[in-house]
Amino acid sequence: MQILSVLKKFNATSKFHTVAVFAWKNMLEELENTAKLIKQNADLVESKSLDKLNSLYAEKRRARKQYQEEHNRIVAQFTHLTEDVARKKTEYQKYLELYKLMRSRFEEHYVKSGRGGRKLDDVRDKYQKACRKLHLTHNEYVLLLCEAAEYERNFRTVLLPGLLDHQQAVQEAFVLSWRSVLEEVAQYTSLCSEKFREVQSRVEASLEAIRPNQEYKDFTEKHKTTPASPVPFTFDNSLVEDTSGKLLPGQLTVDNLTIEWLRGKLMELESSVKEVQDKQASHCSHIEVANNKTSHVDLLTRVDPGKRELEELRCQEREMQRQVEVIKSALSELGCEEVPSGCDLSIDSSFNNKVYNIFQGGDRSSSTLTLKKQQQRFVEILRKPFRRLPAPSSPILPPRSEGEGREEEKDTSQTTDSEKLCTCCTQSQMSLTPQRSLVDEEWFHGVLPREEVVRLLRHEGDFLVRETTRNDECQTVLSVCWGGHKHFIVQTTAEGHFRFEGPAFPTIQELIIHQSQSGLPVTGRSGAVLRKPILRERWELNNDDVVLLDKIGRGNFGDVYKAHLKTSKKEVAVKTCRITLPDEHKKKFLQEGRILKQYDHPNIVKLIGICVQKQPIMIVMELVPGGSLLTFLRNRGGSLTQKQLLGMCRDAAAGMRYLESKNCIHRDLAARNCLVGYENIVKISDFGMSREEEEYIVSDGMKQIPIKWTAPEALNFGKYTSLCDVWSYGVLAWEVFALGGTPYNGLSNSKAREKIDSGYRMPAPEGTPDEMYHLMLRCWEYEPENRPHFDQIYVVVDTLYNAHR
């Protein structure tokens, strides 16, 4: 009768509903009536069924405990996340106050010190550190709010309801296990007599009436608690009210201060997502194995204790995926452009309201003087006569007639074959030509960096093929614009064929054409479909068409060569990029070509093309025979007349006026970065540091900055505008009339900077016209808004040039 005692104990903890209770009572009555008859089977029942019941009893108690622990854990995790949000907000407020304090000190020291000094540098460094810390905390706060909002929604709609559903499934499993034990007991008590058959029939009928899903059909409704009201996780807008618009509520800040952190965070999140996905796959395999088990001992496993864990993993994945989406969205808007500054270094808004004045002139924006009146006005200012010296012929070519204009000259040479698009592959249809190599396909862009690829792929379905090197291994990559920019590595089979997820082909061309014509996605997961091949731009030349001849110089990224262009049969200048440089440097190298290709001016060095079909990457430009202006002045300056020197200054002003109209900041204007062409024409070159924007702020230090040519506001605050180029132009003009002399000769960079801040300006080189030196001084005004713009500089120098005989 020990089995009856155990069954009663189990019933006390089970609390089954009506049908189960009735069946149980019926079982007890029938068992009591036949107790003596089944005595002979008692040992058998006790040795098997009793152990199962004890195990089931222990499992039921353990399941109840696990439910409570899991419920407490989920609630505690939500509470912890809520506390993290509050702590992060407090931290945000702390760094915001520090930021305000540092900015206040910086502005105070700037007003007191006036023009710089070591103390101002220290205060500015502290200010920039506080700014950086604020921006990082801002991003952490945004991502934490994103995570908290996603978890709160999962907490209400997935985790707690899922836990309750799981508990119901466990209880139903217990009922099913309980039924199995009863069936086993009934089997042992079944005898052949009619009486026992009748008892057995009644017992089995009671058992058949038990339905686990009916017993606990109201379980969820009965035990569920009232859903908590949604807890909003929103950004506190008051935190960014005093950040000058640099930080936006609920939006990630992508700038020089945070870009590396965001990229690292993105990699960390993507790695975590991968781990969670792997765990989900493992749980799915476990579920599949568990469902194949039939023993009643495994019934709880069949309920799938991993199902609830799987749901929790999916919630974690959604939380991290949401953060990944937010970061990717912010980074995708950045594209491949220069990272915008996040450092709020504006000192006084009144700076932007000061009136531009040159030679006691009026407001530049409202001036209505015609060009002729402006010239007459400047002629009145130029009081002293010019020295008149005989004009020798040009050391490069015989001089042209005075009637020929310099600024309006343009290269009218005919378009070369390399500048024409190949017609073998159209935008709407791709065909395969036998024996045609991959590099001959117009949609193959060689080793073009990913950042440049993103610029070319603009519409859904745009695609091209390129090469990249990873771990010293060259790989062919298909880049597609599809819900962003996706890059697929071409896989190589054991037979040497090429494929993605579909069939393999002997050549990459056949693979790409198959993907384009079939309309099938490259991979099932990406769904990317090839619609339009993006052909090489007319600027993209084939490396094999460039024959390098003599080395004529060396740049920051590689050597400079005189070369022969096969397609046009003319000599060119070629800048090469060292193969060993990291991709970031190659991107900066190609930036010069990207800027130059949209400019067409006689005083700007002309771009012929870029070579990215294979390494090394090259920029092909017109060959300017006179070489560097600095070298030219030092070697041949003694034979140049004053008018020729003025002409060089006028050429430089014309080129810079053109760049200013294009919102291009050169940032490295100097005689060494200008070239001398036929008839001494000067061309602006070396755009490696240039930026195409009205204002550019550097916040990562003054690396590779030409101190003696750079304006004070750029050195002190990292703030560049076209007026910084005006300062550099003044130094360039000084170099021209000093015939290649060294600015601030005998002074170190730091000493020159200190003297400039204290008001020192270089004296005029010997033989410099007074009016030209006066213009240099105007270019060296400490306050940028007091300097002339290049259009006015050009008018002054052009007037001087035309007035000189």
- What pLDDT, on the 0 to 100 scale, is given for residue 305? 57
Q: Is the pLDDT of residue 692 over 80?
A: no
User: Which of 194, 3, 156, 14 minimizes the C-alpha distance to 74?
Assistant: 156
Pick the closest to residue 411 from 553, 538, 599 (CA basis). Answer: 599
> Which pLDDT belongs to residue 197?
76
Q: Which residues contact 349 (CB under 8 A, 6 or more apart)?
A: none
Q: What is the pLDDT of residue 290?
A: 62
DSSP run (H or E) holding 486? strand 485-489
| Cα dihedral: 782, 786, 790, 796 (round 10) | -110
Mean pLDDT calculated for residue range 757-767 = 94
State the DSSP code for 439: G
Residue 41 has what DSSP assignment?
G
H helix or E strand, kind and range, residue 424 = none
DSSP-derived letter for residue 463 is: E
* Res. 336 pLDDT band, cuts 50 70 90: very low
pLDDT recorded at residue 779:
96
Mean of per-residue pLDDT scores for the chain: 77
pTM, 2 dp: 0.45
Name the least confident of 4-13, 35-44, 217-226, 670-679. Answer: 4-13
The mean pLDDT of 476-486, rounded to a whole number, is 93
The number of beta carbons lying within 10 Å of the beta carbon of residue 222 is: 8
428 pLDDT more than 50? no
Q: Span 239-267, mean pLDDT? A: 77
Mean pLDDT over 401-425 rounds to 35
Mean pLDDT along residues 509-535: 92
How is residue 524 written in tokens?
């099932």
Mean pLDDT of 480-489: 92
Annotated binding residues for ATP, written as ranges, equal 552-560, 575
Catalytic residues: 668
Task: Tokens for 666, please give them.
Answer: 């050169």
Lowest-pLDDT range of 127-141, 301-315, 479-493, 762-776: 301-315
* Nearest partner of 91 among 151, 134, 57, judged by Cα: 134
Which position has the higher pLDDT, 290 or 103? 103
Q: Which residues, in sequence order, are CB contacts of 364 under 8 Å at separation 6+?
A: 356, 789, 792
The phi and psi torsions of 11 (rounded to 5 degrees) equal -65, -35
What would the two tokens of residue 743 be?
């600015």
Which H helix or E strand runs over 468?
strand 462-470
- In b/e form, how buried is each residue of 94-103, taking b as 16+ CB within 10 angstroms? ebbebbeebb
Tell the residue number behind the tokens 């531009």, with chain if given.
356
Out of 218-227, 295-304, 522-531, 772-781, which region has the weakest mean confidence (pLDDT)?
295-304
d(CA 380, CA 254) in angstroms, rounded, equals: 51
Task: Evaluate whether 646 touches 682 at the Cβ level (below 8 Å).
Answer: no
The helix or strand, by DSSP H or E, that contains position 26, with its residue range, turns out to be helix 18-33
What pLDDT, on a 0 to 100 scale, did the predictor assign at position 393? 33
Measured distance CA(179)–CA(173) in Å, rounded: 10
71-117 per-position pLDDT tens digit: 898 889 989 999 999 999 999 999 999 999 988 888 787 777 655 67
Residue 490 in 3-state DSSP?
coil
Nearest 5°: the CA angle 367, 369, 370 is 135
Binding-site residue numbers are 552-560, 575
Q: Can you give the pLDDT at residue 5?
A: 63
Percent of the chain exceeding pLDDT 70 equals: 75
Handedness of CA 245, 250, 254, 260 (dihedral sign): positive
Q: Cα-flanking dihedrals φ and ψ of residue 631, to 5°? A: -65, -40
Of 2 and 15, which is predicted with more confidence? 2
DSSP string, 569-618: TEEEEEEE--TTS-HHHHHHHHHHHHHHTT---TTBPPEEEEE-SSSSPE
| DSSP assignment letter at 444 | B
Mean pLDDT along residues 240-260 = 73
**Residue 11's pLDDT is what?**
57
User: How far lies 290's CA from each of 300, 303, 308, 557, in Å?
Assistant: 9, 9, 14, 61
Q: Please tell me which of 381-385, 393-397, 797-801 the model is most confident about, judged by mean pLDDT.
A: 797-801
Radius of gyration of the chain measured on its C-alpha atoms = 40
pLDDT higher at 735 or 260: 735
Q: pLDDT per residue over 599-613, tens digit each?
A: 889 999 988 888 887
Least confident of 51-55, 162-166, 430-434: 430-434
Residue type, position 3, single letter: I
> What does the pLDDT average to over 554-574?
86
What backbone phi and psi angles, to 5 degrees, belong to 462? -65, 140
Which pairing describes strands 491-492 and 498-499: parallel, antiparallel, or unpaired? antiparallel
Residue 362 has pLDDT above 50, yes or no: no
**How many beta carbons lie within 10 A of that of residue 412, not counting itself?**
5
Band (312; pLDDT cuts 50, 70, 90): confident
Higher pLDDT, 317 or 773: 773
Instruction: Name every residue whose Cβ is closer than 8 Å to that of residue 314 and which is 6 or more positions away in sequence.
Output: 158, 280
pLDDT band at 415 (very low <50, low <70, confident <90, very high): very low
Highest mean pLDDT among 233-237, 500-504, 767-771: 767-771
pLDDT (0 to 100) of residue 19: 67
Mean pLDDT, range 24-49, rounded to an integer: 72
Least Cα distance to 539 among 584, 596, 587 occurs for 596
Element (H, E) at 620: strand 618-622
Best CA proximity match to 539, nearest among 470, 467, 610: 610
Phi, psi at residue 701, to the nearest 5°? 95, 175
**Mean pLDDT across 650-654:** 96
Query: Coil, helix or strand for 487?
Result: strand
What is the C-alpha separation between 290 and 284, in angstroms, rounded? 10
User: Span 668-688, mean pLDDT?
Assistant: 90
Tokens of 27: 């079982």
**Residues 156-214 pLDDT 10s:** 888 888 888 888 888 888 888 888 888 887 777 666 767 777 777 887 887 887 777 77
**3-state SS, residue 665:** strand
Residue 469: which H helix or E strand, with range?
strand 462-470
* Residue 307: partners with Cβ closer than 8 Å, 6 or more residues away: 166, 169, 287
Domains of the chain: 2-334 (no CATH), 432-532 (3.30.505.10), 540-622 (3.30.200.20), 629-803 (1.10.510.10)
Determine the distance from the C-alpha atom of residue 639 to the mean position of all C-alpha atoms in its chain, rounded to a whole number. Answer: 53
